[in-house]
A and B are shown apart, each in its own frame.
Chain A
Amino acid sequence: MNLLWLSWKNLTFKPLNALLSILLFALSIGLISLLLSLREQADEQFDNNLAGINLVVGAKGSPLELTLNSMYHVGYATGNIPLKQVKAFFNPKHPIVADVIPLSVGDSYRGYRIVGTIPKILEWYDAKLAQGAVWQHDFEVVVGAEVARNNGLQLGDKFKSNHGIIDEGDENNIEHDDDFTVVGILAPGATVMDQLVLTTNQTYWHSHENHADAGGDDYAGHDHAGHDHTADHAPASLMEEDPEKEITSLLVKYRNASSFQALNFPRNINENTELLAANPAYEISEVRRQFDSGQRIFGILVLAITIVSALSIFIALFSSLRERRYELALMRTMGAGRAKLFLLIITEGLLVAVIGYLLGILLSHGILSVLAANVQDDFRYTLSPWRFLAEEGWLFFAALFIGFLAAVIPAVQAARTDIAETLTTG
C-alpha cells in the first residue's frame, strides 16, 4: 500500500482517459529513439566502411556515385577505366599513393554484388575468413557472412552469376554461364564485406568475353580454357595484363594524407586525366549533411508531438482532478498531507511517462526490425534492431522530466484542495 500502487489504481480505473496520453507519449519517444538509433548505426556503418581509404578513382561521372558504388556498393558505376590509365597508381614508388586496390563490379548473385578485386581488400576492411581460404584463381569466390547465411552457401558450392545488379527473383535476368566455386566464407564483421561476393578482377573479363565472343555457343570449352589460362595468374600480376582491359575503380590509400601533394592529388587527377577522383570522406560528409537537414525537419515534427503528448498528459490529469476533487479532500481528512496529494498526482504523470517510454522503445525497435529486413537489400546496410543506445537511457530521464512537468500544475492544484469547501459543495 503506497503512492505508486494508488496511482496505478487510479490510472487503470479509467484506462481510456490515460490511453491517448500514453499513445502520444509512446509515439514521441518511439520516434526519438528511432531517429537516434538510425543515425548512430548509419554513422557507424559509414565509418566502418571508410576503411582508411583516402581516394576512389574511376571513370568520369558523379563523384558521389563513384564513392557509393565503390565503397558502399549501392547504385551504379560511373563506367569502366582501362588498366593503362591507372598503371601509375600501382607503382610502388609512387610519391603519394601508398597502396591501391582495383575493383571490378557489375555482376551479382541473388542480389548480392560480385566484386572482382585482390585479397588485400580483406586487410583493409579488417575482414577475417571464417572458413576456407582466399580466392587465388578466377571463378573462385569468397563470400561475405550474410551472403553465405542467406543463400546457404558452403565451401565447394557452385553458382552462376547474374549480369548486372539484379534483385533476387527477377525473371528477366541474364545469367552468366560460368560456375563460381566458393573457396572461403568470411566471418561476420560490421562492414559491407558481409554482403559481397569477392573474386579476381580477371574473372570479370572472362565471363564478359564469353558473351561478347560468340553468344555463348561453346562456353564449356571456353570455360575450361579460361581456368587453365588463369591458373598461372596471381592476382597481384594485374599490371601484366593487357592494358586495354578494364576495371571499374581503384581504392587508394595515401602515404601521408595531410601532405600538400596528397591534398592536391584529386584535383590534379580530375583536371589532367580522363579519370575521376573522389574523396570518400568528403562525399560522405555531403551525404550526411543532406541527412542532417532531413533530420532537422523530422526533429521539429518529433518536438511538436512531444509537446502535444505532454499537453495531453496535463489535460488528462487536470480533468481527472475535477472528477476526483472529493476523493482528494477525503484523503486529506484521512490524514494525507498536501505533499502526499502533490506526490500522488506527480506519480500518475510519471507512470504515464514510464509506460509511454516503454511502449515507445518497443515501437522504435519494432520498426527497426521491420526496416532491417528491407534496407539490407536496398542499401547494403545492416541494422541491429535490438541494440540499445546509452542515449535511450537518457531518454528515460527526459521522459520522467516531461511526465513531471506535465503533472506539476495539476499536482499543485491537488495539493491546494480546500477540504472544507469541497466537502460542503461536493
Chain B
Amino acid sequence: MLTANNLSYRYPGGETLSFPELTCAAGETRLLLGKSGSGKTTMLQLLAGLRAPATGSVSINGQDIGRLSGTALDHFRGQNVGMIFQTAHFIRALTVGQNLELTQHLAGKSVDRDRITALLEELDLAGKAGSLPGKLSVGQQQRAAIARALVNRPAVLFADEPTSALDDENTCRVVELLQRQATAANATLLIVTHDNRLTDIIPRQTRL
C-alpha cells in the first residue's frame, strides 16, 4: 500500500516541481512514465524517503514516512522498501550471496540462506552466490540487484529503469519476475521507466 498526496519538491536551484497524486494497493503494479528530465527519479526518491518533499506526504503501509527521521527512516526503509536502480551496484568486496545476507542483516532481520538460495535460483543465478558482483555480466548483475530488492519481502518495490540495460527477452523475464514476486509478497511494485516495451505489459500507468 503506497499513497502520495500533494507532493512537490524544491530543487536547490529554487525550481519547484509538483507531482501527481498516487495511490497503489498492495500487490498492484504501476508504471511511472515520463520523458527524461521530467522528475521521475526525483519522485521515486521522494516516495522512498531518500529526499524530503517541500509539501505533501508519502505513506507506506499506513506509515507517514515524513514523520520518521534519521535512523528510524533508514530502518523503516530497510524493512519495507526494496529498490532497484538503473545501474546495479553492490558492496564490491562481498560476494553476491554475502551482499544479500548483508541486506537482510542491515534491515534487522536474521540471515535466511534458504531464502537467498531460492531467490537466486528463480533469477537464474544459481551457483553465483559465491561470485563477486564484478565478475557477473550486466544482465546477471541486474538480476542480482532484483534479488537484493526482494530478499526482505518489502511492502513496496521501487524499480528505476530496471530494464534499460536488458534485451527484449530479458526484459519480459525481469518484469514477469518482478510482478510474480511482488504479487507473492503482496507488495506494491512501482516501475519508473520510459521503456515503451513495458507499457504494453503493465496496464496501470501514471504519467508525469
Interface residues of chain A, those whose CB is within 8 Å of chain B, are 1, 6, 9-10, 12-13, 324, 326-327, 330-340, 419-420, 423-424, 426
Contact = CB atoms under 8 A, between A and B. Distances in A.
B41 A326 contact: no
Nearest to A341: B74
A9 B94 contact: yes
B50 A338 contact: no
A336 B106 contact: yes
B92 A423 contact: no
A337 B50 CA distance: 12
B193 interface: no
Interface stretch (B82-90, B162-170, B176-184): B82-90
A13 B93 contact: yes
Interface in B82-121: 83, 85, 87, 89-94, 98, 101-103, 105-108, 111
Top 5 A-B pairs ranked by shortest CB distance?
A335-B78, A13-B93, A337-B71, A420-B50, A9-B93
A324 B91 CA distance: 8
Contact of A335 (B50, B75, B93): B75
B142 interface: no
Contacts of B102: 1, 6, 331, 334
A336 B74 contact: yes
Summarize A's interface: helix, strand, loop or mixed: helix
A423 B70 CA distance: 18
Nearest to A7: B93
A15 to B, nearest CB: 11
B107 A335 contact: yes
Given A335-B77, A336-B106, A423 B85 contact: yes
Contacts of B48: 333
Contacts, number: 74
Nearest to B75: A335
Given A6-B102, A331-B106, A337 B91 contact: no
Contacts of B81: 333
A12 B77 CA distance: 29
A327 B70 CA distance: 19
B70 A426 contact: no
Contacts of A331: 91, 102, 106
Contact of B50 (A9, A333, A336): A333
A1 B77 contact: no
Interface residues on B, range: 20 to 34
A334 B103 contact: yes
25 contacts: A1-B105, A9-B91, A10-B93, A12-B93, A13-B92, A13-B93, A326-B89, A327-B91, A330-B90, A331-B106, A333-B48, A333-B50, A333-B83, A334-B107, A335-B108, A336-B74, A336-B78, A336-B106, A337-B71, A337-B74, A337-B75, A338-B70, A338-B74, A340-B106, A424-B41
A419 B50 contact: yes
Nearest to B95: A9
A351 to B, nearest CB: 13
B74 A426 contact: no
Contacts of B148: 334
B141 interface: no
A344 to B, nearest CB: 10
Contacts of A333: 48, 50, 77-78, 81, 83
Given A330-B90, A334-B106, A423 B45 contact: yes
Contacts of B94: 6, 9
Contact of A339 (B50, B71, B79, B107): B71
Interface in B28-60: 41, 45, 48, 50-51
Nearest to A337: B71
Nearest to B101: A1
Given A331-B106, A335-B108, 15 more contacts: A1-B102, A1-B105, A1-B111, A326-B89, A327-B90, A333-B50, A333-B78, A334-B107, A338-B71, A338-B74, A340-B106, A423-B50, A423-B85, A424-B41, A426-B89
Contacts of B106: 331, 334-336, 340
Contacts of B108: 335
B61 to A, nearest CB: 15
A327 B107 contact: no
Nearest to A426: B89
Contacts of B91: 6, 9-10, 327, 330-331
A284 to B, nearest CB: 56
B66 to A, nearest CB: 15
A189 to B, nearest CB: 54
Contacts of A330: 89-91
Contacts of A327: 89-92
Nearest to A340: B106
Contacts of B107: 334-335
A9 B95 CA distance: 10
Contacts of A335: 74-75, 77-79, 106-108
A40 to B, nearest CB: 41
Contacts of B98: 9
A13 B91 CA distance: 10
Interface centre among A12, A331, A333, A336 (most CB of B within 10 A): A333
Contacts of A340: 106
Contact of A420 (B51, B71, B89, B105): B51
B134 to A, nearest CB: 10
A12 B94 CA distance: 11
A407 to B, nearest CB: 17
Interface in B107-160: 107-108, 111, 148
